Amino acid sequence: MSIAAVWATPFSQEKAQQLADSLQLPLHSEKSAAVDFYLYYTSNGLTLIGTHLNLGPLHLDFNQGALSQRLEKASIRNEALARAVGLHKKRDAHICDATAGIGREGCLLAALGAQITLVERSPIMVALLKDALERCEAPWREGVHLVAADSVDFLNTTLAEFDVIYLDPMFEVHSHKAQVKKEMQYLQALMGPQEDGDALFRVALSRNPWRIVVKRPLKAPSLLAQKPDFCLKLKTYRFDVYVLP
């Protein structure tokens, strides 16, 4: 079990205190090796550092850098996920991204015209996402709604209607095969293996949306052993697409 704290840098004492209070994490004025992860503010916003990870800090930015460039250049034709969720048929679909993570894929769909509800259960990921969305200047930001919750509970109780439910439950990526992105390494280190894919798929089915899309490793079985209507295969993973009656 990883230990996290908020680091009160001289740059931002007050905000750090508020964050520590809201996440119920200890506030440290100096970094300690006994803590696995620190959240701290810089002039660019909230940042996460893994004390024992040789990865450099994790900072989400939708305004500049590689992610924002990808979002700017994205098109429905070139993004397999956009075709999997059916944006070529319903451009302004309301999509629940039930495993939001760092919001990369959810925001990509928003940038392509979808209305997105991002649901994430890790309070640390939610804090990073919330901060990045508050700083986000892109017009698609309007179409993004962030919910801090477990998606099984959320989908069981929400009155919202979704055209599409997207699931990307955490799966192990083998680093010798593919260069695993820093963000994914952070997610894996922070959350460890998670096995709620079937539970998420079950609750998604109960909502009877137009489509359910599940990201899976290429050779992994489908969730609940349920054959998808079609698959879109990429190099290291695939999208299983269920088109519901």
Ligand X SMILES: C[S@@+](CC[C@H](N)C(=O)[O-])C[C@H]1O[C@@H](n2cnc3c(N)ncnc32)[C@H](O)[C@@H]1O
Give which of 181, 184, 167, 178 is closest to 223, Cα–Cα.
Answer: 167
Determine if 223 is a binding residue for ligand X (CB under 6 A): no
Q: Which of 102, 133, 165, 204 binds ligand X (CB under 6 A)?
A: 102
Near ligand X in 177-206, by CB under 6 A: 187, 191, 194, 196, 200
122 belongs to the binding site for ligand X (CB under 6 A): yes
Our finding on whether 86 is near ligand X (CB under 6 A) is: no
**DSSP per residue over 56-94, as a string?**
--B---SSSSHHHHHHHH--TTT-HHHHHTTTTT-TT-E
Distance from C-alpha of 47 to C-alpha of 38, rounded to nearest angstrom: 8
**Interface pattern 6-45 for ligand X (x via CB under 6 A):** ----------------------------------------
Closer residue to ligand X, CB minimum distance, 8 or 98: 98
61 binds ligand X (CB under 6 A): no
| Contact flag: residue 152 with ligand X (CB under 6 A) | yes
Note whether 50 binds ligand X by CB under 6 A.
Answer: no
- Taking the least distance from each CB to ligand X, the nearer of 61 and 150 is 150
Region from 118-126, 133-141, 157-165, 236-244 binding ligand X, contact rule CB under 6 A: 118-126
74 lines the binding site for ligand X (CB under 6 A): no
Closest distance of CB 159 from ligand X, Å? 18
Q: By the criterion CB under 6 A, which residues form the site for ligand X?
A: 99, 101-105, 119-122, 125, 150-152, 168-170, 187, 191, 194, 196, 200
